[in-house]
Amino acid sequence: MSTAWLDAMPAFAASGINCPDAGIAAVSSENAMITVHHLNESRSQRILWLLEELEVPYEIKPYWRDPRTKMAPAELQQVHPLGKSPIITDDGRAVAESGAIIDYIIRHYGGGRLRPDPSSQDYDDYVYWLHYAEGSASLPFVIDPIAKSFGKMATPLQRRVDHELQLNLGFIDHCLAETDYLLGGELTAADIQMSFVGELAVTFLDTDRYSHLDAWVTRFQARPAYRSALERGGSYRYARQPAA
């Protein structure tokens, strides 16, 4: 079996990253302010929103997708070897992965805000949403365009993808049936982590049958902190225009 692909791998050993802690890597830092390495049209928009909700000072280092491939630029690998956004740098370290970033910011800067009491059952639900967002909920959205690109050849896979989309969106909609936000009447970081899933749904799918999910997206996108994050982050195709 050919191992030529290994030659194209970034030099992880040279990065100074210890693999068990690969999501939190040592970097040089000239100041203590959080820097969001923000890729346009990406999940990193929700990190800007979180920081706006907490009113935590931050700066943005922008990156732009390749107009042909739509992939992140190679320079992001200088921040973290996987080269995927979002990434933040803070206090001499780089933190990657949305859930890890949100947990890091909430623990270091939240002051108890945007999360339930860690001793409560609500906190267990909060942790569930943080993991579910990039696990079961996001996966069918990732596979769907791949399946569609193969046309009829991928019909069995497409049927499974459609089932998973309906299953997950129905579940989220049910959880929002009697509440404004995922954990009750107040926004938490669980909503921020889950927001990208909701935005994908209302952008690419008919959400008439998921009216509670649809209303949730409209509700959180109308928040002043969300709109402030849009002003700072730039173009974001998943944001609806606010009602007149």
Question: Distance between CA atoms of 190 and 112, rounded to whole angstroms?
Answer: 14
Q: What is the pLDDT of residues 200-226, one digit of tens each?
A: 999 999 999 999 999 999 999 999 999
Q: Which domains does the chain have, with CATH numbers?
A: 10-109 (3.40.30.10), 121-223 (1.20.1050.10)
Sequence-ordered list of residues with C-beta below 8 angstroms from that of 201, at least 6 positions apart, any chain: 169, 207, 210, 213, 217
Question: Distance between CA atoms of 15 and 77, rounded to whole angstroms?
Answer: 10
Sequence-ordered list of residues with C-beta below 8 angstroms from that of 174, at least 6 positions apart, any chain: 212
Q: What is the DSSP string of the chain?
A: ---GGGGGS--TGGGT--GGGTTEEE---SSSSEEEEEETTSTTHHHHHHHHHHT--EEEEEE---TTT-PPPGGGGGTSTT--S-EEEETTEEEESHHHHHHHHHHHH-TTTTS--TTSHHHHHHHHHHHHIIIIITHHHHHHHHHHHTGGGGHHHHHHHHHHHHHHHHHHHHHTTT-SBTTBSS--HHHHHHHHHHHHHHHHS--TT-HHHHHHHHHHHTSHHHHHHHHHH---TTPPPPP-
Cis peptide before 116 (omega within 30 of 0): no
Question: Distance between CA atoms of 126 and 131, rounded to whole angstroms?
Answer: 9
Quick one: pLDDT at residue 25?
A: 52
CB 37 within 8 A of CB 63: yes
The pLDDT profile of the chain, 244 residues, written as one tens digit per residue, is 444 433 444 444 444 444 434 455 555 445 569 999 999 999 999 999 999 999 999 999 999 998 888 889 899 999 999 999 999 999 889 999 999 999 999 999 999 999 999 999 999 999 999 999 999 999 999 999 999 999 999 999 999 999 999 999 999 999 999 999 999 999 999 999 999 999 999 999 999 999 999 999 999 999 999 999 999 999 899 998 765 4
End-to-end, the C-alpha distance of the chain in Å comes to: 60
Nearest by Cα to 41 from 244, 230, 187, 241? 230
Quick one: pLDDT at residue 13?
A: 43
CA atoms 17, 21, 26, 27: torsion sign: positive
pTM exceeds 0.95, yes or no? no
Quick one: pLDDT at residue 235?
A: 87
CB 99 within 8 A of CB 134: yes
Quick one: pLDDT at residue 53?
A: 98
